[in-house]
Amino acid sequence: MSFTLDLNTVWFVLVAILFAGYAILDGFDLGVGALHLLARGDRNRRVMINSIGPVWDGNEVWLVTAGGALFAAFPEAYATAFSGFYLAMVLLLVGLIFRAVAIEFRSKRESPRWRRSWDVSFAASSILSSLLIGIALGNVVWGVPLDAEHEFAGTFLGLLHPYALLVGVTTLALFLMHGAIYVVLKSEGEFQAQARTWIRPTIIFFLLMYVTTTMATLLYVPHMAQNIRSRPVLFALPLAAMLAIANIPREIHRGREFRAFLSSCASMLLLLAVAALEAYPNLITSRPDPEHSLTIHNAASSQKTLMIMLIIACIGVPLVLAYTASIHWIFRGKVEISETSY
Amino acid sequence: VGRQPWIVYGLLRTSEGLSKSVSDASVITSLVLFSLIYLLLLALFLFLLNEKIQHGPGEVEEITEEGHRA
């Protein structure tokens, strides 16, 4: 394998950045959702929902952007993934729909039964969505059966193999930790003290899952270590990921939650960077026939399309980064519940 | 532009643009599922809307507060 800085590689990096941005941003609001039922009492649950209230939908737009970029730059990979994972995508959409509706509808009526039903819907759909996103990542890492025409040749149940499920649970654990730190940042008083007690167990849960997944990957997915094995200097990347993860409990121990949150963001970025680096130049690895894999070359649009889109991306990506940063800045600080809150 | 039998007029037929790995059963399942979800959400929406209408508008202060909604 050789790294050449062509347009295809630039687009591979761009698509990877968009997916990483999605994981970091939607990661904390999915995590808050997954933790939702741990919050007791109506007011605390409203704090949970309103902590992500102004930002969660903007965060989800990153998934749309990442899907759109994949469609435009690597249409064959998009076609294979979206057709092949059809039922999984349908399930993910159902999860995301009920999550969104739960956030909007929950506090519209006083009835405790109404609110409890939406609380359960919010938590269950957040957990389901996190698992499915992780399972998708697990399958991309593991490889999926593709035929000679790059069509998906497996079944939906075939996507639920132990390694994919392991990555699914690891992703959920990561989001739980990420979300727990976020809730502490956004809450105050007694509830903040309660939310602080969630951090330790979620960190331990994530660390166990992270170590298990790393071992399983090295043992059973040898093609995911080739690129770094052939260029030892790249070992700096998984090393940086490990240091970022180790820094999370360190910052928590010192009571610096904001730094812990930044560390958690950095861990997600670095872990996905390792996965992307190892997958390169494959977009969707074929297993058991690696020669049927979709790569950044055989799945790409024409060079002209990639060039035009790169110009658009150079204008669009800074804009997206700017509005994402400004919305988080505007809504910084602790959650306040008012008449018009969720 | 997307007139049958063309999915891209004059260039690509619908039959050529079909996903080979998605079965008829999957398509009908998702179509029925999403139709049911949207009907359920429509019913809930109308229910909430009706409740809001029955309740009537709030005090003037409340309306100005609405205007400040983020």
pLDDT of residue B68: 54
Looking at the complex, does the CB of residue B12 fall below 8 Å from at least one CB of chain A? no
pLDDT of residue B70: 46
Q: Which of B19, B41, B70 sits opposite A83 (nearest CB)?
A: B19
pLDDT at B27 over 90: yes
In terms of C-beta density within 10 A (0-12 exposed, 13-18 middle, 19 or more buried), how is residue A258 classed?
A: exposed
In terms of C-beta density within 10 A (0-12 exposed, 13-18 middle, 19 or more buried), how is residue A321 classed?
A: exposed
Q: Hey, are the CB atoms on B62 and A151 less than 8 Å from each other?
A: no
Rounded CA gap, A29 and A199, in Å?
A: 15
What are A256's two structure tokens?
């610096």
Sequence-distant (6+) residues with CB within 8 A of A291 are none
B51: which chain A residues are within 8 Å (Cβ-Cβ)? Answer: 109
Q: Hey, are the CB atoms on B33 and A90 less than 8 Å from each other?
A: yes
B68: which chain A residues are within 8 Å (Cβ-Cβ)? Answer: 340
In terms of C-beta density within 10 A (0-12 exposed, 13-18 middle, 19 or more buried), how is residue B10 classed?
A: exposed
Q: pLDDT for A183-218, tens place per residue?
A: 999 999 999 999 999 999 999 999 999 999 999 999
pLDDT at B18 over 90: no
Of the pLDDT bands very low, low, confident and very high (cuts 50, 70, 90), residue A125 is: very high
- How many Å separate Cα A174 from the centre of its chain? 9
DSSP state for residue A295 in the 8-state scheme: E
Q: pLDDT for A38-94, tens place per residue?
A: 999 999 999 999 999 899 988 999 999 999 999 999 999 999 999 999 999 999 999
User: In whole numbers, what is the pLDDT of chain A averaged over residues?
Assistant: 93
pLDDT of residue B65: 55
* Percent of chain A predicted with pLDDT > 70: 99
Average pLDDT over residues A149-157: 90
Looking at the complex, does the CB of residue A75 fall below 8 Å from at least one CB of chain B? no
pLDDT at A300 over 50: yes
Of the pLDDT bands very low, low, confident and very high (cuts 50, 70, 90), residue B64 is: low
Q: Could you write out the DSSP letters of every residue in A228-271?
A: HHH-GGGGHHHHHHHHHHHHHHHHHHTT-HHHHHHHHHHHHHHH
pLDDT of residue B2: 59
Residue B21 and residue A152 in contact, taking contact as beta carbons nearer than 8 Å: yes
How high is the ipTM of this complex? 0.82
Q: Hey, are the CB atoms on A79 and B19 less than 8 Å from each other?
A: yes
Average pLDDT over residues A270-280: 93
Q: pLDDT for B37-56, tens place per residue?
A: 999 999 999 999 999 899 88
Side chain identity at residue B70, one-letter code: A
Residue A283 and residue A294 in contact, taking contact as beta carbons nearer than 8 Å: yes
Measured CA to CA in angstroms, residue A134 lies from A137, A150, A173, A252 at distances of: 5, 23, 10, 25
Residue A152 to chain B, least CA–CA distance (Å): 6
